Amino acid sequence: MARHLITSAIPYINGIKHLGNLIGSQLPADLYARYLRARGHEVLFLCATDEHGTPAELAAAKAGKPVAEYCAEMHAVQAEIAKGFRLSFDHFGRSSSPQNHTLTQHFAGVLADRGLIKEVSETQMYSPTDGRYLPDRYIEGTCPNCGFESARGDQCDNCTKQLDPVDLINPHSTISGATDLEMRETKHLYLRQSAMKDQIEAWIDSKTDWPILTTSIAKKWLTDGDGLQDRGITRDLDWGVAVKRGTEDWPGMEGKVFYVWFDAPIEYIACAQEWEEAGKGTDWERWWRTDKGADDVRYTQFMGKDNVPFHTLSFPVTILGSGEPWKLVDYIKSFNYLNYEGGQFSTSRGRGVFMDQALEILPPDYWRWWLLSHAPESSDAEFTWENFQTSVNKDLADVLGNFASRVTKFCRSKFSEAVPSGGTMGPREDQLIADLTTRLSDYQSQMEHLEVRKAAAALRALWVLGNEYLQEVAPWTTIKTDPEQAAMQTRLGLNLIRLYGVLSAPFIPDASAQLLADLNASDAQWPDDIAAALSALPEGHAFTVPEVTFRKITDDERADWQTRFSGIRS
């Protein structure tokens, strides 16, 4: 049994996220965590809300609430939605926690002691209209690299280039829209990333098994222009982690807070402290400190491609630069973007499906299956209602749901609601076992290599084998001439449902749990041997015919949802 630490990129607190955010980090992380637990591994799966920085301040101001109150409310909302999608976090923390404040200040002090933080006097955007300095996310303008007109002061979401507000063309305040911005002198702290360039580059080069998407983005930042640049890690804001050097005040930094991208990744570690203090586990250090046992932990991070530079460069600079025995990430699984019906998701326009809306329409398994089986791994992907309808109807309703329904209803009508006895398996059943064994090996391999779409395809192929067997042996015909053989075929079919319930649980946990409950097999474990799994339900074992496992989406529903979430107002 191995030990696995899993973190999902922590979502901003400012509002409810759309389906693209879900598939970009949290959902595939949950898939992997569920799979590893099912295989008997010890897992610590952590996530949190990212509550500092300008997004929180702007959203709270828009809502007319104090920022702390707003963050507390939205954390509860996001936590509830995460439960709705069955995201199995061991802890869902908050970057505003006391643990993260203390740990962030600790790292800042240690980095300063090691000469990796410098004070810089610089000019910064000031808005006379707003009467304040404008940190990066309070400024938008045109990206000088790609021409995207809504680039933020810290990063362009279109080309992912890291920016400073002064780089933007035609910048304006996101608070008031004011364009009469001027540069004024202020003092900030910078993380001396350039001093760590060779060490970071060697570390990234050692990760030969990382996805191309992850390494290509990281290496681009290391080689573009002048290479890895020093990065400002403080901001003129009221809300955030107060700038301190460990527990000591930092002269000249009064009234400033740490940059959200400095403290947010540190929350991964603080979240484990929160987990322990909440009474959910013990000894958080054995997950995070290599001098306390974390050297045998495999740490996997999940994130969208826009987060890759911070997790491959800035956060590792913090960890390695500290000189302390912290656990570094072993594998970073990054994702491209999910687009919506030929364009982008848009909160302001009401375009696309957001997580709360999705759960109002259909149960979580419908969404989990489509998103995971269409995960944007090798390129950007696109959600369309036609594709969603087709995938749900064919994969879930026709292949898996119909198989469970046909087998159980046939057994009830011809035998009883108990596993029938009689008959012996022959060459066709031996071939099925061999085929299932091969497909299971493929499924497990894809899951272990974090090939999400390929894993979904391998799981579906396992479902298809059962359907092909059922169609070929046709127990409804066999029973007319050989009832005992039909009983064996039906018994095998019931055991296949049990097998599918276990194997499908990482993807569709609710449906899997219900199928196993209906079979009175909720304690079923991941199979070590297919032949044994197909005789796990003994003769005479009682079951209940399941309700419809997955219903089909009608054309009228699809058309209605397509209009409802188009962003076009009548």
Q: What is the DSSP letter of 120?
A: E
Closest among 202, 188, 64, 184 to 132, alpha carbons compared: 184
- Residue 352: DSSP 8-state: S
pTM score, two decimals?
Answer: 0.92
* Type of residue at 255: G
Please give the chain's pLDDT, 570 residues, in tens: 799 999 999 999 998 999 999 999 999 999 999 999 999 999 999 999 999 988 898 899 889 999 999 999 999 999 999 999 999 999 999 999 999 999 999 999 999 999 999 999 988 888 999 888 887 778 999 999 999 999 988 889 888 888 888 889 999 998 889 999 998 888 999 999 999 999 999 999 999 999 999 999 999 988 876 778 999 999 988 899 999 999 999 999 998 999 999 999 999 999 999 999 999 999 999 999 999 999 999 999 999 999 999 999 999 999 999 999 999 999 999 999 999 998 888 877 888 999 999 999 999 999 999 999 999 999 999 999 999 999 999 999 999 999 999 999 999 999 999 999 999 999 999 999 999 999 999 999 999 999 999 999 999 999 999 999 999 999 999 999 999 999 999 999 999 999 999 999 999 999 999 999 999 999 999 999 999 999 999 999 999 999 999 999 999 999 999 999 988 754
**pLDDT tens track for 265-289:** 999 999 999 999 999 999 999 999 9
Q: How far is CA 403 from CA 278, 463, 494, 549, 553, in A?
A: 43, 8, 10, 10, 18
Establish whether 159 is an annotated binding residue: yes
**The pLDDT of residue 225:** 67
pLDDT tens readout for residues 507-564: 999 999 999 999 999 999 999 999 999 999 999 999 999 999 999 999 999 999 999 9
- 495: helix, strand or coil: helix
What pLDDT, on the 0 to 100 scale, is given for residue 163?
86
49 three-class SS:
strand
Strand order in the sheet with 91-94: 91-94, 42-49, 3-8, 297-304, 331-335
Residue with tokens 């982008």: 344
Q: Which CATH class is domain 385-533?
A: mainly alpha
pLDDT value at position 157? Answer: 83
The answer to whether 42 and 335 have CB atoms below 8 angstroms apart is no
What would the pLDDT profile of 136-157 be if each residue is shown by its tens digit?
778 999 999 999 999 988 889 8
> What confidence score (pLDDT) does residue 285 get?
98
Q: Which of 350, 357, 302, 373 is nearest to 19 (CA)?
A: 357
**pLDDT (0 to 100) of residue 47:** 98
Phi-psi region at 259: left, alpha or beta (left = phi > 0; alpha = psi -120 to 50): beta
Q: Name the nearest CA neighbour of 478 among 467, 489, 469.
A: 489
Residue in the block written with tokens 């958080």: 284
The tokens of 139 are what?
């400024």
Q: pLDDT above 90 covers what percent of the chain? A: 86
Distance CA 39, CA 524 (A): 12
Cβ neighbours for 266, distance < 8 A, ≥ 6 positions apart: 100, 103, 104, 107, 315, 318
Does residue 146 have a known ligand-binding role?
yes
pLDDT of residue 55: 83
Is residue 71 marked as binding? no
- Which pLDDT score, from 0 to 100, does residue 92 have? 98
Q: Which of 338, 433, 344 is nearest to 382 (CA)?
A: 338
Q: What is the DSSP letter of 311?
A: I
SS3 153: coil
